[in-house]
A and B are shown apart, each in its own frame.
Chain A
Amino acid sequence: MSTSLSGPGPATRTPGREPVGSGLPRASQGARNLAPITAAGLLVKVVLLGLVAGIAVWAAFPLVEAEQWTGLAILAVTTAGLFYLYLTRRHVPAKYLVPGTLFLIAFQVFPVLYTASTAFTNFGDGHRGSKDDAIVAIQSSSVKQVPGSTEYSLSIATKGDPATGPLVFLLSDPKTNQVSAGDADGLRSLDAGDVTVAPGGKVTAADGYTVLNFGQASVRSKEITDLVVPTSGGAIRSNGLSRAYEGKAVRAYDAGCDCVTDSETGKTWTADGATGSFVAADGERLAQGWRVNVGLKNFSRVLTDPNIAGPFFGTLLWNFAFALGSTGLTFVLGMAIALALHSPRMRGTNLYRVLLILPYAMPSFAMLLVWRDMFNTDFGLVNNLFGLGVDWFGETWSARAAVLLVQLWLGYPYMFLVTTGALQAIPRELTESTSVDGASPWQSFRAVTLPLLLVALSPLLIASFAYNFNNINAIWLTTAGGPFPADNPRNGATDLLITYTYRLAFGAQGAEYGTAAAVSIFIFAIVATVSAISFRRTRKQEEVYS
C-alpha cells in the first residue's frame, strides 16, 4: 500500500528523525485537533471496501449453488463486520488487527481446533466417514458378478494429473450406447456430443477428462480394482482395464437389527457404537467402520500402550536432545566466530561475513538433500574425503551425530549474524575497563560479555529452540527418521515427535489421524510449557541485568 500524497494545509514539518529508506516527501497536516478525512484516504477506503464487496459477491455464488447456508451466513456476517469496522471512526485498534486476525482464524486457529477435536475420535483408515458411508462401502465392496449382469466397455480417466489425479470410470453401455462417468460418488451420464467413442464402444476422449493410456492405467491397477461405483441395484467394478460389470451386493444392511448380513454365508455383523464398526459374534470386524467419539482413549493409548508409549518417550528424549543440541551448538559456534572477528584491529571482517553467511542464504531444503547425499556410504563426499567407510545413516549414533552436524552447518551463520549485531550494541568501554582492572579475557567474557549477550539473544534462542523442536524438514529430508529397529518400522532413531506424528497420520501402515492428533496436542503442550518457563526466566534475567 503506497502512501498517496494529499493534504492541504500549511507546511509544518514534524520534528524528529528523517524517514529512512523512503524518499517520499512527507506531507504535513494542518494543526487541527481532529484528524481530517482526506480525499486520498477516503478514496483508498472506498477502493478497498469495494474490493471486499466484490470478493464477497464472487465467493457467494458457489456457496448458494452448493446450498452451503452456514458458509454463506459466515461470509455475510464477516463482510458486514468489515464494512462496519472501516466506516465507523471508532474501534481504531481493531482496524489494524482484524486483517491479519481473519487469516489467523481461518487458516491457523480453525485447523488447530479441528485437529484438537479429531484427537477425541477414532478418525483414520477404516473410520473416515459417517455410518451411512460405511454401509454403502460395505455393500458395494461385496459386489459380485451374477449371470446376466450388465457389461460395459471401460476407459480409465481423470480430471487431474494422470499419475495422481482421482480416477473416473468412463463407461459405455454396448446395448444403448449411453456413456456415463462414474466414481465413488455414483454414476452421471455424459452427453453424446462431449465424448468420442471408438468402434467397439471404448471411449477415447471426453470433455474435461484426461483418458489414461494403457501404460498409465496399468501402473494404477490396484486403485482401479479398488474403485467401486455405487448404483441403485448394486455397484459397478472393473474387470481388467477395459471391461466393467454391474454386480449385486452380497452383504446388505438391515436397519431393523442394525446389522449387516451376508446372504451367501448367513453371517451377521452387529453395529457397535463405541468402536464405530460392525462386529460379528465371533469378534470379527468389518474393515469399513465409521467415525465415533472415543473420549480420551487416544491420549491414554499414547501414554500406556507399550507399542506407542515406548517409542513416544524415547522419541521425546531425543527430540529434546536434538532441539537443545541444534540451538546450543549453533549458538556456541556462531558466537565464538563472532567474538573472534570482533576486534577493532581486525581487517577484512566484511569479506568474512559475506562468505560465512552463505549457508544461511542457500535454500535449506536443497542443502539438506545435498548433505544427505554427502553422507552416502558408497559415494558420499564425507566418506571419500576422509577415506572412511562409515554407514552414517545406518547406525543410531552416527545418524544422530550427522543430523546435528547438518543443523550446525545450516544454523550457525544465523547465530553468527545476531551475535555480531548484539556485540556491536555492547559498549567497548565495559570490556576495556575490565582489562584495566586486570581481568583475563576469559573472565571479562564470562562476567560481562556473555550475560549481556544472553539478555539480548535469549528470546531468539527460545524461538530457535521452539522451531528446532518441530524441525520436520531437518529430519524428513535427511534420514527420514531412520535407522529403524528391525522390530518397529514406525519409529526410527532420529525421529522427532513431529516426523513420528507424520508417519502415524500418513504412513504406509494406514492412517491414524486420531492418534496423530493426540500426539500433536502433546507436542504443543510440551513446547508451550518449555517456552513459557524460559520466557519467564528471561524476563527475570532482564530485570537483573538491565
Chain B
Amino acid sequence: MTTHADAPAGNRNAGRASKGRWFAQVGWRHVVGVLAVAFSLFPILFVLSAALNPLGTLSSTELLPTGASVENFTNLFDKTAFGYWFLNSLLIAGASSFVSILLSALAAYAFSRMRFAGRRIGLLALLLIQMFPQFLAIVAIFLIFTTVTDLWPSLGFNTPWGLFLLYMGGALGVNTWLMKGFFDTLPRELDESATVDGASHAQVFFRIMLPLVAPILAVTALLSFIGTINEFMIANVFLTDTESKTLAVGMWGLVAGERNNNFGMFAAGTLLTAIPTVVVFQLLQRYIVSGLTAGAVKG
C-alpha cells in the first residue's frame, strides 16, 4: 500500500493540488480495488473464454474470448450425464445443508441456553472430533458402507441418500460453534420472558430464536452448501455409476484423462456449476458479512 501523497508542494494550481489530495485520500483506494478485481476475475475470464471457444481445447484457449459458440454447452448435455450430475449435486448439497443447519441449530440452542452436566465436555469433544478429518477414516467408511449396501441397497454406494447420511456425520461441529456464538449474543431476557409467559422450550426455539438467528442460518447454510458441492474425495470413492455422480466427481472424470480436448466442456460445466452459488451468494450478501463476524467474535 504505497500512498502517493506527495502532491507537488510548490504547485500553485489549486485544481491539481486538490486532485493530488483526492488521490492520496481516495484515488489510491480505487487503484487497489481495480487491481484486486483484476486478480479475482482473470481466471474466471479465462474459463468464460474457454467455454465460448468453439474449438473446445485447452491449447486453443486464450484469456479473451476468441469466438462465441454454445457448442461446448450443448456437448456437455449431449455427450455426458451432466444433467444428472447437476441434479444429484443440488439434491445432496441442498438436503444436507438444510438438515445440517437444523441439527446444529438445535444443538447450539441447547449449548447456549441450557446448563447441563457434560456441557463443557460436549463442546470440547465436538471441536476435537472435527479435527479428525472424516476423509482419513475413508477405509473404515468404505467397509461400513459395504455392509450397508448389502443390507439396505437404497442407502448404499451410488445412492444420494447414503452420501447424505455420511455428510450428516459432520453436521455438528464448526457450524454448531458458529451458531452458538450467535445465540450467545441474543439477550436472554427474550426467551426468559417468553418462558414466563408460558412458552415451552420448543416454542421458544422455533418461534423466537430461529427467526432472530436468520443471518447465521443463512451463512452456515451457504457455507455447508458450498462445502458439499465441492467435496470430491469421499464422493469419488462413494459414487462410481455414471448417473449417480455429483458435479465434482463427474467433471473430474471429464479432464482426468483427456484434459486438453474436453477443456471447453469442462469450462462450460464450471460456469453452470457456479450459477446456484452465485445467485444465493448475492441474495444473502448482507447476512454473510454480519453473520460470519458476529459468530466469530464470540466464537
Interface residues of A (CB under 8 A from B): 1, 3, 7, 9, 12, 14-17, 19-22, 24, 26-38, 41, 59, 62-63, 66, 68, 71, 92-93, 96-97, 99-101, 103-104, 106-112, 114-115, 118, 123, 160-161, 164-165, 336-337, 339-341, 343, 345-346, 348, 352-367, 369-371, 373-374, 376, 378-379, 381, 384-385, 409, 413, 417-418, 420-422, 424-425, 455-457, 459-460, 463, 466, 470, 472-473, 476-477, 498, 501-502, 505, 513, 516-517, 520, 523-524, 527-528, 531
Contacts and interface: CB of A to CB of B under 8 A. Distances in A.
A35 B200 contact: yes
Contacts of A115: 136-137, 139-140
Contact of B144 (A68, A111, A473): A111
A165 B241 CA distance: 9
Contact of B103 (A100, A359, A376, A502): A100
24 contacts: A1-B102, A14-B194, A17-B212, A19-B212, A21-B214, A22-B210, A26-B207, A28-B197, A35-B199, A96-B109, A104-B169, A107-B169, A108-B132, A111-B169, A115-B139, A358-B40, A362-B44, A365-B232, A369-B252, A420-B289, A460-B292, A473-B233, A513-B139, A517-B139
B55 interface: no
B41 A341 contact: no
Greatest chain A CB density within 10 A among B174, B242, B274, B296 is at: B296
A392 to B, nearest CB: 15
A112 B132 contact: yes
A355 B151 contact: no
Contacts of B299: 459-460
Contact of A14 (B122, B126, B135, B197): B197
Given A355-B40, A366-B269, A421-B290, A472 B230 contact: no
B40 A498 contact: no
Contact of B41 (A34, A66, A71, A358): A358
B293 A422 contact: yes
- Give chain B's interface secondary structure class: helix
Nearest to B290: A421
A96 B107 CA distance: 5
Interface in B187-206: 187, 189-190, 193-203, 205-206
A54 to B, nearest CB: 14
Contacts of B292: 417-418, 421, 460
Given A21-B214, A100-B103, A422-B293, A340 B134 contact: no
B129 A109 contact: yes
Interface of B: 1, 25-26, 28-30, 32-33, 36-37, 39-41, 43-44, 46-47, 58-59, 61-63, 102-104, 106-107, 109-110, 114, 116, 119, 122, 126-129, 131-141, 143-144, 150-152, 158, 165-166, 168-172, 174, 176, 187, 189-190, 193-203, 205-208, 210-212, 214-215, 226, 229-230, 232-233, 240-242, 247-248, 251-252, 255, 259-260, 263, 266-267, 269-270, 273-274, 277-278, 281-282, 285, 288-290, 292-294, 296-297, 299
B136 A520 contact: yes
- Give chain A's interface secondary structure class: helix
B212 A111 contact: no
Nearest to A9: B198
Greatest chain A CB density within 10 A among B29, B144, B194 is at: B29
B43 A374 contact: yes
Given A19-B212, A103-B168, A516-B139, A355 B232 contact: no
A244 B211 CA distance: 68
Nearest to A523: B136
B32 A340 contact: yes
Contact of A460 (B193, B270, B296): B296
Contacts of A109: 129
A384 B62 contact: yes
B29 A340 contact: yes
B136 to A, nearest CB: 4
B273 A35 contact: no
B116 A93 contact: yes
Contacts of B274: 361-363
A164 B245 CA distance: 14
A288 B30 CA distance: 68
B150 A505 contact: no
Contacts of A31: 196-198
B111 to A, nearest CB: 8
Q: Which 7 A-B pairs have the closest CB atoms?
A: A107-B169, A19-B211, A421-B293, A35-B200, A459-B299, A111-B137, A21-B214
A341 B293 contact: no
Contacts of A385: 63
B131 A466 contact: yes
A337 B38 CA distance: 13
A107 B141 contact: yes
Contacts of A370: 43, 46-47, 266-267, 270
Nearest to B202: A41
B174 to A, nearest CB: 6
A379 B165 contact: no
A497 B201 CA distance: 45
Contacts of A360: 281
Nearest to A441: B3
A356 B214 contact: no
Contacts of A336: 1, 32
Given A340-B33, A381-B46, A460-B296, 12 more contacts: A14-B199, A17-B190, A20-B214, A29-B197, A96-B114, A104-B129, A107-B166, A108-B170, A112-B132, A118-B139, A381-B62, A476-B233
Contacts of B169: 103-104, 106-108, 111
A352 B144 CA distance: 48
Contacts of B151: 62-63, 66, 68, 71
A97 B289 contact: no
A531 B124 CA distance: 12
B296 A459 contact: yes
A394 B205 CA distance: 56
A96 B190 contact: no
A418 B293 contact: yes
A373 B259 contact: yes
Nearest to B176: A100
Contacts of A32: 198
Contacts of B278: 358, 361-362
B221 to A, nearest CB: 12
Nearest to B272: A363
Given A115-B136, A358-B278, A363-B248, A409 B43 contact: yes
A524 B132 contact: yes
